[in-house]
Amino acid sequence: MTGASVAAMAEAPSDATRIAAEARDRVRFEEEALALSDQVYRVARHLAGSREEADDLVQEMYARAFRSWRSYQPGTNLRAWLLRILTNLNIDRGRRQQRAPQTQALEANDYYLYDKLAESDGGPTDEERVVERLSQDDIVSALSAVPHDFRDVIVLVDIGDFSYQDAAQILDIPIGTVMSRLHRGRRVLKRELAESVAEDGT
């Protein structure tokens, strides 16, 4: 037996071992990614404009994640990695551009919504329960009326519980921009909510 063929025989099992190890890693990746699907959906639902869009977006995101699992670095934040794919897909689908031009960000002062709710008649008036005057529909539609740049940050940080740092990475913007959009975006949201109170006539 030549030295080369001995070496080849020695390599053969290690090749098989490598393939088996990779299959194990891939299965583990898929399981970890799927375990996060409820959290991913919660965010995707409001990054996208509708349930149907969110549905498509989440499926596209998982299909892509499963194909490109090798580019995920184990030990890093998988949820943020998945959301990065999702926000990029969302941009690719042109949803941002569609919504961007018409929407205007009008902010109210931070105390405005409380004052509006407290002065309306009926329902609880104490500051911890006065929020209950806002219906689920009021909130969902107010959120969808917030321009996408602001809404993305609110959805990631206030609904998805991502840190500023994670949100900055996911959206590929500086952390200072995350903070200023969050701050202004919440004021825009509160203004939208205050308008829904006025419209309901409550």
Partner 1 sequence: MNLYDDPCAHCEEMMQPYLDHILSDAERLEAEAHLDECDWCRRRYRFEESLRVYVRQVVSEPMPAELKRKLAALRIPLD
Site for partner 1 contains 140 (CB under 8 A): yes
Q: What are the φ and ψ backbone dihedral angles of 101, each rounded to 5 degrees?
A: -65, -40
Residue appearing with tokens 């990746």: 29
Q: What are the φ and ψ backbone dihedral angles of 178, each rounded to 5 degrees?
A: -60, -50
SS (H, E, C) 31-65: HHHHHCHHHHHHHHHHHCCCHHHHHHHHHHHHHHH
Site for partner 1 contains 150 (CB under 8 A): no
Which of these ranges, 9-17, 27-35, 99-107, 165-173, lies near partner 1 under the rule CB under 8 A? 27-35
Q: Which of 14, 15, 111, 121 binds partner 1 (CB under 8 A)?
A: 111
CA geometry: angle 151, 173, 104, nearest 5 deg: 35
190, 108 contact by CB (below 8 A)? yes
Q: Which of 25, 42, 91, 177 binds partner 1 (CB under 8 A)?
A: 42
Nearer Cβ to partner 1, position 97 or 141? 141
Which two structure tokens, joined as six digits, stand for 183?
Answer: 């701050």
Q: Which of 6, 16, 63, 198 binds partner 1 (CB under 8 A)?
A: 63
> How far is residue 201's CA from residue 120's CA, in Å, rounded to a whole number?
8
Q: What is the CA radius of gyration of the chain?
A: 23
Which of these ranges, 5-13, 80-88, 90-98, 139-147, lies near partner 1 under the rule CB under 8 A? 139-147
Write each residue from 64 to 103 as x if it is in contact with partner 1 (CB under 8 A), else as -, in one continuous string: --xx------------------------------------
Site for partner 1 contains 128 (CB under 8 A): yes
CA geometry: angle 156, 64, 45, nearest 5 deg: 35
Minimum CB distance to partner 1, residue 16 (Å) = 12
Residue ranges binding partner 1 (CB under 8 A)? 23, 26-27, 30, 34, 37-38, 41-42, 45-46, 51, 55, 58-59, 62-63, 66-67, 109-111, 113-114, 117, 127-132, 134, 136, 139-140, 143, 158-159, 179, 182-183, 186, 189-190
